[in-house]
Amino acid sequence: MLQGIMDFLWQRFFGRTDCDTDGSELPEDGKAEATGNHRQETGSPQEETTDSLSNEEAKVPSKRATVLIMVAAPLDFKQKIVKAGDKDLDGQLDFGEFVHYLRDHEKKLRLVFKSLDKKNDGRIDSQEIMQSLRDLGVNISEQQAEKILKRIRKGHVCAPIMYMDKNGTMTIDWNEWRDYHLLHPADNIPEIILYWKHSTIFDVGESLLVPDEFTAEEKQTGMWWRHLVAGGGAGAVSRTCTAPLDRLKVLMQVHSSKSNSMRIAGGFTNMVREGGVRSLWRGNGINVIKIVPETAIKFMAYEQIKRLIGSNQETLGIAERLVAGSLAGAISQSTIYPMEVLKTRLALRKTGQYQGIGDCAKRIFRNEGMSAFYKGYVPNMLGIIPYAGIDLAVYETLKNWWLQSYATDSADPGVFVLLACCTTSSTCGQLASYPLALVRTRMQAQATMAGGPQMTMCGLFRHILRTEGPLGLYRGLAPNFMKVIPAVSISYVVYEHLKMYLGVRSR
């Protein structure tokens, strides 16, 4: 990543202008003379900063203003960055040293900006650019000055074009100047977090996703809870729309076998014949209700675990996120797991068997005891790590690949890239953890199967492998995969609309 950033800084700070001059390069003595004239003409802005910087430091930005516009890059510029930021003299630039270097460089950039801002109004316009170059002995037209002002950084053909003048006012303020020259926008961590939210946006009905990161600004302004509310609403709509496929998956996990194979069309037909069209949504009520407590507990636990880890960074690394996310998932699942059992029992119920969620809970407690609400708990906990780990790893890998290959001007990947990344990562995660999910569901449903043996997790694994083979661990996989794309798409659309309704800023 540092290599890419240094490549960017090399091109940005020492690139040529887009304007034409009488000569392709200034002669060496001309450069020195021009630099001297520039120091004389821009004395007043420099004097404002001498309280905090030495006279020697104050001279550097004056030269840098010349270099920024006119001089080609030296071949050893990358090595100079490493040398300038390498405080411990180990020949390498670690993250802390690089941050220190950028802060120092931002200070110098401000001095350059002030030297160009001859009107002292906090903005650079075409007239000031013309004047700065005229001080260096280079005369350009106003049209050429505007071309510099609107300087284009060319990127990938599929990426948007970025202008230094973002708002089209034909002036450059300090924020635009700093953002354009200091760092590539795609290396801005808050912007990446903003666009690449994962579990908040996409809900595929699973409970094992790692929580999202939120920027410091989102936490301070209270935008984080609006994101969570929008994500919860999107999840409710998404789960409701794909509930028939989810119920079919549960039926196939429990009742389908080598001798009693259940097909997708036949499964839907049997459900409608037994209980009507409404029966397709059995178990969906509790599946939607558990979104709120599950999300809230997981988010709060995740934030506390991040503090215990001791990281003061705005975003954790993949390994830290996996540890914190898995622990947060285990805490939230332990809290709401009885609702998972109720969802399975309600999805498997016959017409008229239960009057509702409360009646189902009472009967389970009366007939089977409190332990029934935690049947399948162990395989469910074990399934968190493979699902969350693979889902997170695949998503982050795809995200980083896109950022390195195509994010020339913005960290915004667009709708289709996000949908593709989330669908792929979720599918891979479910594929890895599916056998554990199937065993969990069968353990939750054992009491509903008259005369069926009550087996432990290991015993159930052995029984399935002996009677059905390895493919028996993947019963119901087809409808489970069928719901991924519609679930992701629906949740994204609803999430975007709820964000607008709740006043969540996109940028």
Q: pLDDT, tens digit, for every residue of 218-236?
A: 888 888 899 999 999 999 9
Given 3-state DSSP classes, what are the helix, strand and coil percentages for the chain, each rounded to the nearest 5? Answer: 70, 0, 30
507 assigned to some structural domain: no
Q: How many domains does the chain have?
A: 2
154 and 21 belong to one structural domain: yes
Q: Report how far residue 304's alpha carbon sits from residue 324's, in angstroms, rounded to the nearest whole number.
A: 9
Give backbone dihedrals phi and psi of 123, rounded to 5 degrees, phi first. Answer: -140, 150
314 and 406 belong to one structural domain: yes
Q: What is the three-state SS of 139-176?
A: CCCHHHHHHHHCCEECCCCCCCCEECCCCCCCCEEHHH
Is residue 421 pLDDT above 80, yes or no?
yes
483 assigned to some structural domain: yes
Is residue 30 pLDDT above 80, yes or no?
no
Q: Report how far residue 5's alpha carbon sits from residue 3's, in angstroms, rounded to the nearest whole number.
A: 5
Q: What is the pLDDT of residue 81?
A: 61
176 and 214 belong to one structural domain: no
Q: What is the pLDDT of residue 503?
A: 84
413 and 367 belong to one structural domain: yes
Is residue 43 pLDDT above 90, yes or no?
no
CATH number, domain of 446, equals 1.50.40.10
Q: Report how far residue 429's alpha carbon sits from residue 316's, in angstroms, rounded to the nearest whole number.
A: 20
Q: Report how far residue 237's alpha carbon sits from residue 232's, in angstroms, rounded to the nearest whole number.
A: 9
152 DSSP β-pair partners: 163
Q: What's the token pair of residue 289?
A: 């209700």
Q: Span 461-477, mean pLDDT?
A: 93
Q: Span 75-84, mean pLDDT?
A: 55
Is residue 269 pLDDT above 50, yes or no?
yes
Q: What's the token pair of residue 229?
A: 């509310």
Q: Span 116-129, mean pLDDT?
A: 80
208 assigned to some structural domain: yes
286 assigned to some structural domain: yes
319 and 381 belong to one structural domain: yes
167 and 271 belong to one structural domain: no
Q: Span 441-445, mean pLDDT?
A: 94
205 and 226 belong to one structural domain: yes
248 and 329 belong to one structural domain: yes
329 assigned to some structural domain: yes
pTM attached to this predicted model: 0.64
Q: Helix or strand or coil: residue 124?
A: strand
393 assigned to some structural domain: yes
124 DSSP β-pair partners: 172
152 and 210 belong to one structural domain: no
84 assigned to some structural domain: yes
Q: Helix or strand or coil: residue 22?
A: coil
Q: Range of 492's domain?
A: 192-502
179 and 318 belong to one structural domain: no
Is residue 422 pLDDT above 90, yes or no?
yes
